[in-house]
């Protein structure tokens, strides 16, 4: 029987690359998205996946979304919490709305979706949860107290949930991408981007496919002995101790 994977933010950027990689691995993929209907339609057609529109930061919407996915496709075996936003500002200028929006979408969403799928995984005795954090959740970043806090929170969330679920055949891991060649990074001013690239030892931005390959492995049977781990994929820009 085919395994079912849900990728949040799965129709664009790194999320789309993850959806594509999991399709190649033999998963039936459901990709969640927030608002870009045209990108979702194109992704569904090109990858042959199902797409579902709901707000990952809304608990009730996630419960309803997972029920809709499972009614159409079956019990979810793999959850990739990839959806994320930025609302950058220095703390002394950051609004409560900027803080709340990022925490809700980037961190609370992982609780919302994991809570919705965890019982199905426990009943099956098999599951994979992969949370997409960031290099800035490991090292921090000026102007991103909200984003860095949310992405650091994903690491702690993963470590705690990994301990809860290990004996149920469920692994929970985190991938921390560095600066990756996506539309979000492409919008950075050229001089800033040049400075970023010059600080990466491998001398280039990451590729979405390289981040997807990390998720592909952690979602496989071969990664069954890896749980609570944090995988840094950043070209050597930041090396955690």
Q: Going along 43-126, which residue ranges are E strands? A: 50-53, 78-81
Inter-axis angle of helices 109-124 and 145-165, nearest 10: 10
What tokens does 131 get? 């949370």
Q: What is the DSSP track for 4-31?
A: EEEETTTTSHHHHHHHHHHHHTT-EEEE
On whether the CB atoms of residues 113 and 157 are closer than 8 A, the answer is no
Q: Is 147 a catalytic site residue?
A: yes
Question: Going by C-beta distance under 8 Å and a sequence separation of 6 or more, which residues neighbour residue 6?
Answer: 29, 30, 31, 32, 66, 69, 76, 78, 79, 80, 113, 117
d(CA 205, CA 212): 15
Angle 215-187-144 from CA coordinates, rounded to 5°: 70
Catalytic residue among 33, 147, 179, 238: 147
On whether the CB atoms of residues 14 and 78 are closer than 8 A, the answer is no
d(CA 207, CA 182): 8
Q: Going along 34-107, which residue ranges are E strands? A: 50-53, 78-81
Active site residues: 147
């Amino acid at each position: 029987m085919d395994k079912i994977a849900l990728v949040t933010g799965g129709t664009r950027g790194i999320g789309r690359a993850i959806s594509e990689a999991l399709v190649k691995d033999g998963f039936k993929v459901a990709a969640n998205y927030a608002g870009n209907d045209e990108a979702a339609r194109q992704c569904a057609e090109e990858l042959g996946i199902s797409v579902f529109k709901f707000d990952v930061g809304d608990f009730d919407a996630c419960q309803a979304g997972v029920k809709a996915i499972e009614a159409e496709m079956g019990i979810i075996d793999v959850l990739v919490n990839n959806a994320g936003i930025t609302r950058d500002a220095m703390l002394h200028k950051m609004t409560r709305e900027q803080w709340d929006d990022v925490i809700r979408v980037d961190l609370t969403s992982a609780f919302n979706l994991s809570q919705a799928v965890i019982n199905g995984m426990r009943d099956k005795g098999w599951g994979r949860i992969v949370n997409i954090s960031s290099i800035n959740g490991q090292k921090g970043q000026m102007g991103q107290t909200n984003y860095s806090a949310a992405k650091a929170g994903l690491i702690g969330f993963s470590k705690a949930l990994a301990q809860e679920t290990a004996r149920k055949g469920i692994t929970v891991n985190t991938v921390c991408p560095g600066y990756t060649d996506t539309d979000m990074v492409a919008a950075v001013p050229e001089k800033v981007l040049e400075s970023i690239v010059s600080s990466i030892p491998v001398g280039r931005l990451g590729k979405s496919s390289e981040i997807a390959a990390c998720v592909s492995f952690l979602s496989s049977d071969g990664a069954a002995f890896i749980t609570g781990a944090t995988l840094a994929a950043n070209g050597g820009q930041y090396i955690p101790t």
